[in-house]
Amino acid sequence: MVADVAVPRQHGASKLTRQRTRSAWIFIAPMLIVLALVAGYPLLSTMYYSLTDRLLIADHDTQFIGFSNYLYYGPDLDNYDEEFDGYFVDLIEQDAFLIYRDDGNFYDLDNVDPDTGDLALYEGEVSTSDVFEWHGVLVDSLWWRSVWNTVTFSVISVGLEIIIGMFVALVLNANLPGRAVIRAAVLIPWAIPTIVSAQMWSWMLNDQYGVINEILLSWGWIDARLAFTADRLLSLPSVIAVDVWKTTPFMALLILAALQLLPGEVYEAAKVDGVHPVRQFFKITLPLIRPALMVAVIFRSLDALRIFDLIYVLTPGSRDSMSMSIWARQNLIDFQNVGYGSALSTSLFLIIACFTAVYLVLGRVSFDQER
């Protein structure tokens, strides 16, 4: 036989694989295009607007202002004076009214330069620390308050939902007669639209005619009717209570589904070994449903962090229960300040993105499992 080193022929992907890969991209393309148009492009424009001073007013020229919406040291941008093309500054100590222009100089509003007919430079000494302040999202106390509100809301309501949801799921998982009725009852809050449930609860929590006040009074738990949705201390707890009522069913169903996937043999083995039911729950059930719980928690947390509708309807205008989304939309639409509102929206987006990234890394959640 001729000594001939056989080099194995290397093949690329076969026709079938190439055809399937090509089809995959063709099949995904329409979805990707739509997502790019309804999500990608608007997100990028929001981010871009956050770097401008855009207003909703039609005849306002939009200018690129860098990160000034986020953090900016200078005059109050709201005091822009179109007539003098600068920012109005009240120098209280020297009893002077000045205009600060982009060239970095202060002009005296009461002193017109005869040569140019324009305002003259202010002759006094101006200490910038007297007239300038920090502005922007990062020093916006209402923003940080809404962040605090939202995070408090998310942590407490998701925590309560897990605990109550676990109880409900364990009850549903117990083999008792009429299980279908209980499950149907539990599904009702989930089926009711958020806005509708917000309205139902604001009626029940009404400070004058609400049934909750009525019941608490008749039981003697309170002496006077409470303004649940308007009170500084009660508005956020009220929001949490309604959210827990509305979303616990979702949590309970997810946990129930996870419970029902557990192998019965494990429990039979535990029973044979004489493990106490409480110990059994913490040592067997909880570790086994942990992955499902982790996924449910992230779904619910992301949902809670962007909460808008419930708060908007239940406690309108309250700063004590204002969420990040509410404050962003208020700036965007009500104050017509697209630039600043976009900066708030972008900040919210970044907070949620960071939270998700951290959670995914810590939780080692994989989304491309072959099963």
Partner 1 sequence: MATVKLENVTKSFGELQIIKGVDLDINDNEFVVFVGPSGCGKSTLLRLIAGLEDITSGDLSIDGAVVNDLPPSERGIAMVFQSYALYPHMTVYENMAFGLKLAKESRESVEGKVREAARILQLEHLLDRKPKEMSGGQRQRVAIGRAIVRNPKVFLFDEPLSNLDAALRVQMRIEIAKLHHDLDATMVYVTHDQVEAMTLADKIVVLHGGIVEQVGSPLELYHHPRNQFVAGFIGSPKMNFIETAVTAVDGDGVSVSLPGGENIKVPVDGSDVQVGDKVTYGVRPEHMIEVGDADAHIDGEVFVVERLGGDTYAYVRAEGADMITVQTSGDSHVGVGDKLKIGVSAVTSHLFKSDGAALKLNARNPMADARKGGMLDTAPGPKADPH
Partner 2 sequence: MSRTARKLLLKIAFYVLVIFIIIYAVFPFYWAINSSLKSGTALFSADFLPPDPAWDNYAAVFRGQPFALNILNSVYVSTVTVVVSLFLAVTAAYALGRIRFRGRGLLLMVVLGVSMFPQIAVLSGLYEIMRAIGLYETLYSLMISYMIFTLPFTVWILTTFMRELPKELEEAAIVDGATPWQTITKVFMPLMGPALATTGLLAFIGAWNEFLFALTFVGGDSELMTIPVAITNFSGASEFESPWGDIMAASVIVTVPLIVLVLIFQRKIVSGLTAGAVKG
In the range 18-57, which residues lie near partner 1 by CB under 8 A? 19
Partnered with residue 87 across adjacent β-strands are 80, 100
16 binds partner 1 (CB under 8 A): yes
HSE-CB of 354 using CA atoms within 13 angstroms: 6
Of residues 321, 322, 342, 317, the one with CA closest to residue 331: 342
10 binds partner 1 (CB under 8 A): yes
1 binds partner 1 (CB under 8 A): no
Instruction: Report what 9 binds from partner 2, partner 1, none; CB cut-off 5-8 Å by kind.
Output: partner 1
Number of residues that bind partner 2 (CB under 8 A): 97
Q: Among residue numbers 344 through 363, which ones bind partner 2 (CB under 8 A)?
A: 345-346, 348-349, 352, 356
Instruction: Single out the residue of 98, 249, 315, 322 in contact with partner 2 (rule: CB under 8 A).
Output: 249
14 binds partner 1 (CB under 8 A): yes
Instruction: For the chain, give the number of residues.
Output: 371
Task: Determine the interface stretch with partner 1 among 9-17, 22-30, 54-62, 319-327 (rule: CB under 8 A).
Answer: 9-17
d(CA 200, CA 194): 10
Q: Quick check: helix, strand or coil at residue 106? A: strand
Q: Which is nearer to partner 2, 132 or 349 (CB)?
A: 349
Report CA torsion sign: 161, 162, 164, 168: positive
**Among all chains, which residue has been given the structure tokens 């509100």?**
149
Binding mask 42-61 for partner 2 (x = CB under 8 A): xxxxx--x------------
Q: Quick check: helix, strand or coil at residue 312? A: helix
Q: Which is nearer to partner 2, 142 or 261 (CB)?
A: 261
HSE-CB of 27 using CA atoms within 13 angstroms: 6
364 binds partner 1 (CB under 8 A): no
DSSP 67: G
Residues that bind partner 1 (CB under 8 A): 6, 8-11, 13-17, 19
